[in-house]
Every structure is written in structure tokens, then in C-alpha cells.
Amino acid sequence: MSRFRDSAGGEGSILILSAPSGSGKSTIIRRLLAASPELEFSVSYTTRAPRAGEKDGKDYVFVGPKRFRRMVAGRGFAEWAKVYGNYYGTPLRPLQVARRAGRNILLDIDVQGHRKVRRRCPEAVSVFLMPPSYRELTRRLKQRKSDGPEAIARRLRTAHQELRCWSEYDYVVVNDDVRRAVRALNAILTAARLRRENQRREIGRILKRFGGS
Ligand code: ADP
Ligand code: 5GP
């Protein structure tokens, strides 16, 4: 059994969202979380420096390479990867706790992380968020003003490789309009919640009252 699965059933869903940097993932996640307070966000660890406005413990847990390596050695991550020259990892513990409590948890991870999580947890629901065009992606990265020209060039180069992975995901959403994209994500989330395996506990309770089951 994988380290973050509980075969008893009736657990919360894992929803994975991946996209090339600058596609609008954080923007959409912020709105999604505001609209769905019951949805939990998996706060990753990273060795990259915080951007203006990012809060430690909320957007990421910002750590140095030493602490990150300690977490890897202590098997503290469900998965980790090097992305755009920095290290990022999904802490295992909050994932296990959320799943056992039947809460849905959202993972903002890259294409490598998606592959690793899906291998261990094939029932995870995954969404690839696409920018509407290369030109618009470039515009959004520049407009964000959080990365220098070199970092932007690196993110755009990697975007080409990441985009090729779109077909590995369950759903693809093009982020041309934020509101439309959030609506699409909400629909996917609703469908994930309605999966029969995610309703075992609730259905069990209803059936019990029928006396039979
Ligand atoms: P990511 O988290 O994928 O790296 P961000 O959410 O930081 O991307 O978005 C990058 C920039 O693009 C931000 O300035 C954001 O306001 C803008 N943005 C996001 N979605 C849209 C959209 N649909 N239309 C126009 N601008 C957008
Ligand atoms: P950013 O630096 O723009 O916040 O994120 C860069 C990339 O790292 C994004 O593709 C994001 O999805 C990815 N990322 C964030 N956290 C994790 C994580 O815990 N694991 C993996 N594999 N990727 C992550």
C-alpha cells in the first residue's frame, strides 16, 4: 500500500493542478479556495525565495537547502522535484491527515510531481491548465514582475516541455478567462466529490437507516 493511501475507502480526493509558470495557476487556486472553504490546499516546501506578498506557511513553507535535504532523508515528502532550478516538495503528513479525515486536498505541483503522485495514487484527479498562447504566457510572466529576464526565459523554455505532457492529465482547462477557468475547475471538483468511492461513508450511513444493508 502506498504511503498516502488508505485502502479502507471513503477518503477525500486528491486534486492535482499543473501548468507552466505564469499560466494563472495561483490566481485560479486563490479563487477556488475562497469559493470552497472545505477544500484544503497542500502547502509545499520550497527552496526558492518568497515573492512579494507570499506568506510563509500559507503559499509555501520557505526553507533552505539543508532543511529540504533533511526532509527528503526523513521521508517527509510524498514527492519532491527540482523545478526551474529550485527544490519543491509535497509534505506527506498533511496529505495523510486530510485523506483519513475525508477532506479533499488540492496539490499545485509540476508535471514530474504529477507522475509520481499518480503512480502511487491512480485515483487522484488531475487537471492541466493551459495558457491560451505563447504570447499571452510571455505577457503574463512579464506583467507579474516577480522574475528577472533570465528566470522568465528559463520558465518559457521549460513551458514547451511541460505543455507536451497535457495528455497525461484527466482534464485540460484553457485559462483564457479567469472566471470561466474557475467555473470549469469547480465543475471538476464537484464531479470528483460525487465519485462513488468518495461517498462510501455517507452512503453507508443512509443505507444503515434502511435497516438492511
Ligand atoms: P502561476 O501561478 O501559474 O505561475 P499566476 O497566477 O501568478 O501564475 O499568474 C501570472 C500572471 O497572469 C498574474 O499577473 C495574473 O494576474 C495574470 N493572470 C492569471 N490569469 C489570467 C487571465 N485569465 N487573464 C489575464 N491575466 C491572467
Ligand atoms: P512557482 O515557483 O512558480 O511557485 O512554482 C514553480 C513550479 O513548481 C510550478 O510548476 C509548481 O506547480 C511547482 N511546484 C510547486 N510545489 C511543488 C511541489 O511540492 N512538488 C512539485 N513537484 N512541484 C511543485
pTM of the entire structure? Answer: 0.92
Query: Which triple of cell numbers denotes residue 134?
Result: 505563447
Written as tens digits, the pLDDT of the chain (213 aa) is 355 554 444 567 899 999 999 999 999 999 999 988 889 999 999 999 998 899 999 999 999 999 999 999 999 999 999 998 899 999 999 999 998 888 899 999 999 999 999 998 898 999 999 999 999 999 999 998 888 899 999 999 999 999 999 999 999 999 999 999 999 999 999 898 888 888 888 899 999 998 755
Nearest CA to ligand 2 atom 23: 109
CB contact at 8 A, 104 and 15: yes
Nearest CA to ligand 2 atom 22: 113
Domains contained in the chain, CATH given: 4-42+103-209 (3.40.50.300)
Query: Sign of the C-alpha dihedral, residues 23, 111, 60, 98?
Result: positive
Tell me which residue has its CA closest to atom 27 in ligand 1. Answer: 24
| Pairing state between β 77-83 and 86-91 | antiparallel
- Within 10 Å of residue 195's Cβ, how many Cβ atoms? 12
Q: Which residues have any ligand 2 atom within 6 Å of their CB? A: 18, 21, 44, 48, 79, 81, 83-84, 88-90, 108-110, 112-113
Probe target for ligand 2 pocket from 23, 54, 83, 95, with the most ligand atoms within 8 Å of CB: 83
